[in-house]
Amino acid sequence: MGEFVVRGGRRLDGTLRVHGAKNAALPIMAASVLASGPVTLEGVPRLRDVDVMTEVLTALGATVRWVSHSSLVIDPSGINEYVIPQELMMKMRASIFVIGPLLARMGHAVALQPGGCSIGDRPIDIHIYGFEQLGAQVSETEIGTRLDAPELQAGLVHLSYPSVGATENLMMAAARTPGETRIRNAAMEPEIVDLAQFLEKMGATVRGAGTSDIRIVGQRELSGVTHTIIPDRIEAATFMLAAAATGGHVVLENCIAEHLPGLMGRLRDVGCRVEERDGDVVELTTPEKYKTTPISLHTGPYPGFATDMQAQFMAFLLKVPGVHIISERVFENRLGHARELRRMGAQIVADQRVALIYGGRPLHAADVRALDLRAGAALVIAGLMTEGETVIADREIIERGYQDLDRRLTQLGADIIQR
Ligand code: UD1
């Protein structure tokens, strides 16, 4: 595995264009399985997770090819397989997104239940419950959990928790199932709305995406379409926090401020100026000096504070004088980066769910490790605001979710290289 080497202490300044959202691209790639003809996706980020989804689709019999640096064409007409290869399931949990489309298209799907990962156990019981409500039979086999439903039945599914993945999986299956399916207590993330728009273009009717009550009227035949993926709100947040942590300034193009509730307000609370322009441009200017402001937040399903921004925000808070509290409420074990940040001298007291962060105290460079994708991004931010050479091991974990991170930060004036 490689490393990022960051020589920090430089103020970031510049303009960047935000890439398409990983978490919208992955389910929409999976939803292409539903189409009768080729699908063209634009604004697809070049990421390891996108490569794994490409492998999954190819293993099922689809053809996938890049036609420009950010456009993919997926032709699902050759799909003849319904078992998701075990090694791909192990590589990426999001492979599970293919289950719903496969079940609707082929009447069967088999997948290994994803195991525990560094941020918690992450079961798929809510996905499975939803498919059962739509008439699928579930059985455990040697190669994984098998779902059979020669004909799915539209119906009502009430989720016990607004799981993003379960909502998406059920929306995809429902889009190819005649009749009206209603998902209550659905997730409300912007990526759900993007998926809904994609399914609508293909021929399904989707009402209520972005609320907790989604209704989908499916069609037996869905057509191949062209779709542009929404901007990545987590990439945008990461660049804003990196700039803010170095006392810098950044202009982000292709950034939808509305998708960042919680973040904008808190950046303003500590004295940053955040301006929105022209619908999709956001400019962040940091104050001379952060005032002492205790910040308290907890993560939650959208429109709550995104768990995927929590680690990066924690790194940024180390810059802001005051005692801050972060409570992680989406995943049961997503504060591991506190330990890595402590290696850099950060004063953080944390258990599995809650962290107390003593901000405004100096850090020192150290050798640290990216435990998961966003934890890794947090360490990059900490490295950028710290004098000396911070070495972040397991760079590839960060690259699962950030395209050209080192090149883009260098563009803003950072000193970061990979090796
Ligand atoms: C998606 C995002 C991920 C983000 C997360 C929460 C993608 C590819 N990934 O993941 O980046 O951090 O939303 O915003 O879009 N749960 C269950 N049973 C289930 C499903 C989920 O208990 O069947 C639990 C999980 O363990 C977790 C919580 O629900 O504690 C949220 O998970 P979920 O919303 O499903 O996240 P993902 O779709 O996996």
pLDDT in tens, 329-342: 999 889 999 999 99
pTM over the 0.85 mark: yes
Encode pLDDT of 188-205 as tens digits. Answer: 999 999 999 999 999 999
67, 117, 143, 156: which is the annotated catalytic residue?
A: 117
Q: Where are the domains of the chain?
A: 3-19+231-418, 22-228
Ligand 1: which of 49, 161, 191, 374 to mutate, most ligand atoms within 8 Å of CB? Answer: 161
Ligand 1: which of 160, 330, 373 to mutate, most ligand atoms within 8 Å of CB? Answer: 330
**Which residue owns the Cα nearest ligand 1 atom 38?**
165
Mean pLDDT of 143-171: 96
The reply to whether ligand 1 has any atom less than 6 angstroms from the CB of 123 is yes
Give me ligand 1 centre to Cα 163, in Å. Answer: 5
At 122 the pLDDT is: 73
At 115 the pLDDT is: 56
The reply to whether ligand 1 has any atom less than 6 angstroms from the CB of 114 is no
In degrees rounded to 5, what are phi and psi of residue 292? Answer: -70, 110
Give me ligand 1 centre to Cα 188, in Å. Answer: 13
Whether the domain at 3-19+231-418 and the domain at 22-228 fall into the same CATH topology:
yes
At 118 the pLDDT is: 67
The reply to whether ligand 1 has any atom less than 6 angstroms from the CB of 124 is yes
Q: In whole angstroms, what is the distance from residue 403 CA to residue 25 CA?
A: 13
The reply to whether ligand 1 has any atom less than 6 angstroms from the CB of 127 is yes
Encode pLDDT of 251-286 as tens digits. Answer: 999 999 999 989 999 999 999 999 999 889 999 999
At 144 the pLDDT is: 87
Superfamily of domain 22-228: Enolpyruvate transferase domain (3.65.10.10)
Q: In whole angstroms, what is the distance from residue 225 CA to residue 258 CA?
A: 27
Which 8-state DSSP code applies to residue 96?
G
Give me ligand 1 centre to Cα 118, in Å. Answer: 13
**Which residue owns the Cα nearest ligand 1 atom 33?**
163
Retrieve residue 138's tokens: 């579930």
**Which residue owns the Cα nearest ligand 1 atom 24?**
122
At 117 the pLDDT is: 59
Rounded to 5 degrees, what angle do the CA atoms 378, 381, 385 make? 140
Decide: 238 and 381 in contact? Cβ < 8 Å: yes
Where on the phi/psi map is residue 300: left (φ > 0), alpha (ψ -120 to 50), or beta?
beta
Encode pLDDT of 46-93 as tens digits. Answer: 999 999 999 999 999 999 999 999 999 999 999 999 999 988 988 888
Query: What letters, b where the CB count within 10 A reaches 16 and e where it falls short, cover 9-20?
Result: ebebebebebbb
At 36 the pLDDT is: 96
Mean pLDDT of 370-378: 96
Encode pLDDT of 98-132 as tens digits. Answer: 999 999 999 999 988 775 556 666 789 999 999 99
Confidence of residue 400 (pLDDT cuts 50, 70, 90): very high
Residue 117 annotated among the catalytic residues of the structure: yes
Q: Which residue has the tokens 């004036």?
A: 413
Q: Domain 3-19+231-418 carries which CATH code?
A: 3.65.10.10
Decide: 240 and 252 in contact? Cβ < 8 Å: yes
* Nearest CA-CA partner of 259 in 287, 230, 296: 230
The reply to whether ligand 1 has any atom less than 6 angstroms from the CB of 94 is yes
Give me ligand 1 centre to Cα 301, in Å. Answer: 9
Indicate if the pLDDT at residue 322 is higher than 70.
yes
Ligand 1: which of 89, 96, 118, 122 to mutate, most ligand atoms within 8 Å of CB? Answer: 122
Retrieve residue 275's tokens: 């301006």
How many CA atoms are closer than 13 Å to the CA of 382, on its beta-carbon side?
38
The reply to whether ligand 1 has any atom less than 6 angstroms from the CB of 330 is yes
CA distances from 316 to 237, 250, 338, 392 (A): 11, 15, 12, 17
Q: In whole angstroms, what is the distance from residue 366 CA to residue 382 CA?
A: 10
